[in-house]
Structure 1
Amino acid sequence: MMRYTGPKHRISRRLKFSILETNKEFAKGKQRRTAPGMHGTKRIVLKGYGQQLVEKQKVKYMYGLTEKQLKNIYKKAITMKGSSSLNLLHIIESRLDNLVYRMGLAPTRAAARQLVNHGHILLDGRKNDIPSTTVRLGQMISLKEASRSIPTVTEGLKLNATTLPFVSFDKNKFEGTFVRYPERNELNSEINESFIIEFYNR
């Protein structure tokens, strides 16, 4: 199944959740929070399968994953020690494209994915153009010197004045390290990853 590349605000409205994690999709002109095609204030309360599906879709669209990628991540998460739901988030957060975004080198995950795809990113000093690469703790992510002035990078650094504590980043050297796996309270509180495990456990 292909990755969704359409209008982000339509997906966010449908899920009542900012897949960009900025709420920009609900800014003036796009501020309706009802799903596309819906009118009025009637609210549908989801339970069981419907609730599980919505949580899966939130993570899928927020991180820019395909259905196959997310299912494979689930399969790996349930074989690991500890909480399967937290394992799932740790695997996703370890992706190269996500860490490029977390370090502030791009304004969105989609933009970070493009940086990787186009060969601008180095992993431990070597070019890596595979966004789904799992980065190990302690590995260094850096930007090619020739790529430091491209608009995507400039915008990303402007928007992200600080990085989250589980990554380190040196703005002068344009390089950073995956320091540790994130704590649950450092990630988006509007997703319930346990429902994703339940969805695939069916």
Structure 2
Amino acid sequence: MARYTGPKTKISRIFGEPILGNGKWLNKNSNPPGQHGASRKRKSLGEYALQLREKQKAKYTYGVLERQFRKTFDEAARRRGVTGENLIKLLEARLDNTVFRLGLSASRPGARQLVSHKHVTVNGEVVNVPSFQLKPGDIIGLKPASGVNSSITSQFRGKNAKFNWLDWNETEQKGTFIAYPERESVPENIKEQLIVELYSK
């Protein structure tokens, strides 16, 4: 299963944002990676570089590699509406991202592991594909054995109330994907229009 396994803090320093992890080192060592750090003269980024950088930020944020990201973009372009907003909606509708948003894991990589290790169900059926696309009305839960596993439940952090496109039932340990989120509801700092412009070249 393809995924990024390189240094996470380095990626955060490239973008100056906690793309991967909590970004606790950004204040201490916030210079871009490289031998000379802040003393190195850096050219201002051109149009293409800014577009490429935004695409890379989205890929690292959601844990998607190039081929899968391109397929997601093509699907977003086929759908009605604004392509950039459709892209964010499809990325948010991934099963691993939804498990993360529901608070069942502290990170997207952790949520991806939960899914791939067959702990997560969709509409009562075990699904072990992190990129599985959810549809409005789908119910996400844990297998009965996983729901009482302390090593799993100890990672629960609770759903953030601002994610209003998801609903979580604490008693039944089940969540519902109510609808695709509106762009203004998604907190990620991604300029999706730059990604559309990049792929439109």
Aligned position for 1:40:
38
Summarize the alignment of residues 98-117 of structure 1 with structure 2, pairs less than 5 Å apart: 98-117=97-116
Instruction: Name the SS for the 1:168 alignment partner.
Output: strand
**Residue 81 of structure 2: aligned partner:** 82
- Paired position in structure 2 for 1:13: 13
Deviation at 1:9, TM superposition (A): 1.1
Distance 2:47 2:160 in 1: 40
**How far off is 1:157 after superposition?**
2.2
Conserved? CA contact 1:17–1:58, under 8 Å: no
Instruction: Name the SS for the 1:141 alignment partner.
Output: strand
Aligned counterpart, 1:93: 92
Distance 1:61 1:17 in 2: 12
Secondary structure (helix, strand or coil) at the match of 1:40 reads helix
Q: Which structure 1 segments of 5+ residues have no match?
A: none
Contact 1:100-1:112 at 8 Å conserved across structures: yes
Question: 1:188 aligns to what SS in structure 2?
Answer: coil
- Label 1:18 to 1:182 Cα distance change in 2 as closer, same or farther (>3 A): same
Structure 2 residue runs of 5 or longer lacking an equivalent are none
Q: Does 1:155 align with 2:155?
A: yes
Partner of 1:53: 52
Letter in 2 for 1:35: P
Q: Which residue of 2 aligns with 1:133?
A: 132
Determine the C-alpha separation between the residues in 2 that align with 1:72 and 1:154: 35
Q: Note the C-alpha offset of 1:47.
A: 2.8
Please give the secondary structure, in 1, of the residue aligned with 2:3.
coil
Q: State the Cα distance separating 1:29 from its structure 2 match.
A: 8.2
Cα separation, partners in 2 of 1:197 and 1:28, compared to 1, 3 Å: closer
Contact kept, 8 Å, 1:111 with 1:152, in 2: the verdict is: no
Do the aligned partners of 1:121 and 1:127 also contact (CA within 8 Å) in 2?
Answer: yes
Identity %: 36
Q: CA RMSD in A?
A: 2.1
Q: Does the CA-based 8 Å contact 1:102-1:163 persist in structure 2? A: no
Deviations 1:97-120 (A, max 9, x none): 111111110100100000000000
Contact 1:103-1:163 within 8 A present in 2 as well: no
Query: Are the equivalent residues in 1 in contact too, given 2:120–2:143 (CA < 8 A)?
Result: yes
Task: Provide the rounded CA distance (Å) in 1 between the counterparts of 2:57 and 2:94.
Answer: 17
Q: CA deviation at 1:161?
A: 5.6
Taking structure 1 as the reference length, what is the TM-score of the superposition?
0.89
CA distance in 2, matches of 1:44, 1:18: 23
Tell me the alpha carbon deviations over residues 132-161 of structure 1, each in whole angstroms, 9 at most, x when there is no partner.
111110010001121123434422326x56
What is the TM-score when the length of structure 2 is the normalising length?
0.90
Distance 1:195 1:35 in 2: 22
Deviates more, 1:37-46 or 1:97-106: 37-46
